[in-house]
């Protein structure tokens, strides 16, 4: 194999390249990314980087010298077309780039607000997303004490920004369309805890709120809900989830379905093309369903599988997903997926901000959400799937 190109210079793209070199691949290796940065980690964007506690270089996964030493070309360009028959990429700059094998690691983009709202939002200044370094660099100068921020979406990203904004002295309202925060990923007990945590820090959290329209002429000045309430604001954060960047793959006739479909080794429907990270969807034997995960764990672990697969190894990807979120003094850690469960067991003290919830299905442990309880998280990653016993996880 003479050359491998990776489209997307994010967590997964960088890991494929790093692992390929570690596994002894000596051919040409190129990462093409369109953000004008070396590959970087996104989690601090909504946490320490937004707060101004982390320099930009702290985000980079490796310094420029690493890629030079490893003979990994990192190109700042956008791939606009893939010629499968000719094994050639067309770039936005007009350049072309040949490849023997291609890896899509194109990640996700921010989901837009509903059409009419979004059309209006695009005309108004003061409406932000939080996905990239440039999003944060645009937002941070507006994060000034006393300003009014409305956050649309009570998922991880919205809540992490709420915590930072509150700590910086802004007035913060979170509007969530579902009846509780983080509904997609945690049990009601955890939602309740985080709603209480934000309220105790002075954030106004309102669930079951569907947006109707933005107010303002040049800059946004308010957000109106369908119930007719208007929340005055100086800025709005849209944090309503993410969509996979699979259009380039689709245009290349690669099978996609809310993500680029890959098998257990990260291979797409075209034999020379692979995909990994947020943009890919795979079948999990562990959960007996297809899934697309948006997490650092998945980006790194699936990238390693793809690198192995490119080197002719046969390892199959079937992860136990894990994730974390930092809000105020609380670290939420999730091990496993609580897609279906019959009951939960809660251990520890919510008042002391140190507890965990074990999710049980057929009397087996399927997932653990912990708050400031790293021991239970680490143990859960080892024992998930085992029959439940009181001593399976650590005490309070």
Residues at the site binding ligand FAD, with contacts judged by CB under 6 A: 7-13, 32-35, 42-43, 45-46, 78-79, 105-108, 130-131, 157, 245, 248, 277-279, 294-297, 299, 323-325
Closer CB to ligand FAD, 13 or 121, in the complex:
13
Nearer to ligand FAD, 191 or 295 (CB): 295
Least gap, CB of 250 to ligand FAD (angstroms): 12
Which is closer to ligand FAD, CB of 42 or CB of 97?
42
Tokens for 249, please give them.
């793959």
| Residue nearest to ligand FAD according to CB distances in the complex | 10
Chain position carrying tokens 């969530």? 176
Least distance in angstroms from the C-beta of 368 to ligand FAD:
16
State the minimum distance, in angstroms, from the CB of residue 80 to ligand FAD: 7
Contact 273/164 with Cβ under 8 angstroms? no
The least CB distance from residue 40 to ligand FAD, in Å, is 8
What minimum distance in Å lies between the beta carbon of 262 and ligand FAD? Answer: 12
Q: Please name which of 57, 56, 12, 59 lies closest in space to residue 31, comparing C-alpha atoms.
A: 12
**19 vs 325, beta carbon nearer ligand FAD:** 325
* Most distant pair of Cα atoms in the chain: their distance: 62
User: How far apart are CB 249 and ligand FAD at their closest, in Å?
Assistant: 10
Closest CB to ligand FAD among residues 112, 221? 112
Burial 30-67 (b: 16+ CB within 10 A, else e): bbbbbbebbbbbbbbbbbbbbbeeeeeeebbbbeeebb
CA distance 322 to 333: 7
In 3-state terms, what secondary structure has residue 272? coil
| Cβ proximity to ligand FAD, 35 vs 192, nearer residue | 35
Q: Please list the helix, strand and coil fractions of the chain in percent, rounded to the nearest 5, in that order.
A: 25, 35, 40
**Alpha carbon distances (Å) from 212 to 115, 130, 218, 239, 333:** 11, 22, 18, 16, 34
């Amino acid at each position: 194999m003479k050359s491998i190109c990776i489209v997307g210079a994010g967590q997964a793209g960088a890991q494929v390249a790093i692992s390929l070199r570690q596994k002894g691949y000596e051919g040409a290796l190129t990462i093409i990314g369109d953000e004008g940065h070396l590959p970087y980690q996104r989690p601090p964007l909504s946490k320490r980087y937004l707060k101004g506690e982390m320099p930009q270089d702290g985000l980079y996964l490796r310094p420029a010298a690493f890629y030079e030493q490893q003979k990994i070309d990192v190109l700042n360009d956008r791939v606009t077309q893939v010629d499968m028959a000719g094994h050639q990429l067309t770039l936005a700059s007009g350049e072309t780039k040949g490849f023997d094998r291609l890896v899509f690691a194109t990640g996700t983009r921010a989901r837009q607000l509903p059409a009419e709202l979004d059309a209006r939002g695009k005309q108004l200044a003061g409406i932000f997303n939080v996905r990239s370094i440039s999003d944060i660099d645009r937002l941070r100068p507006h994060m000034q004490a006393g300003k009014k921020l409305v956050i649309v979406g009570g998922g991880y990203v919205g809540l992490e920004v709420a915590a930072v904004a509150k700590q910086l002295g802004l007035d913060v309202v979170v509007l969530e369309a579902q009846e509780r925060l983080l509904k997609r990923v945690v049990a009601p007990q955890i939602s309740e805890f985080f709603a209480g945590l934000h309220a105790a820090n002075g954030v106004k959290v309102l669930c079951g709120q569907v947006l109707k329209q933005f107010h303002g002429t040049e800059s946004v000045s308010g957000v109106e809900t369908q119930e007719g309430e208007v929340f005055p604001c100086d800025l709005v954060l849209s944090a309503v989830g993410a969509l996979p960047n699979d259009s380039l793959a689709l245009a290349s006739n690669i099978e996609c379905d809310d993500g680029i479909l890959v098998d257990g080794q990260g291979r797409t429907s075209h034999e020379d093309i692979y995909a990994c990270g947020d943009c890919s969807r795979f079948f999990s034997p562990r959960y007996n369903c297809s899934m697309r995960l948006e997490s650092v764990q998945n980006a790194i672990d699936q990238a390693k599988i793809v690198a192995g697969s490119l080197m002719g190894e046969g390892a199959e990807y079937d992860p136990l997903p894990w994730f974390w979120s930092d809000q105020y003094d609380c670290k939420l850690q999730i091990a496993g997926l609580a897609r279906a469960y019959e009951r939960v067991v809660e251990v520890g003290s919510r008042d002391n901000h140190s507890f965990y919830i074990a999710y049980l299905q057929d009397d087996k442990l399927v997932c653990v959400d912990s708050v400031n309880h790293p021991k239970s998280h680490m143990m859960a990653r080892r024992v998930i799937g085992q029959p439940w016993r009181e001593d399976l996880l650590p005490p309070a």
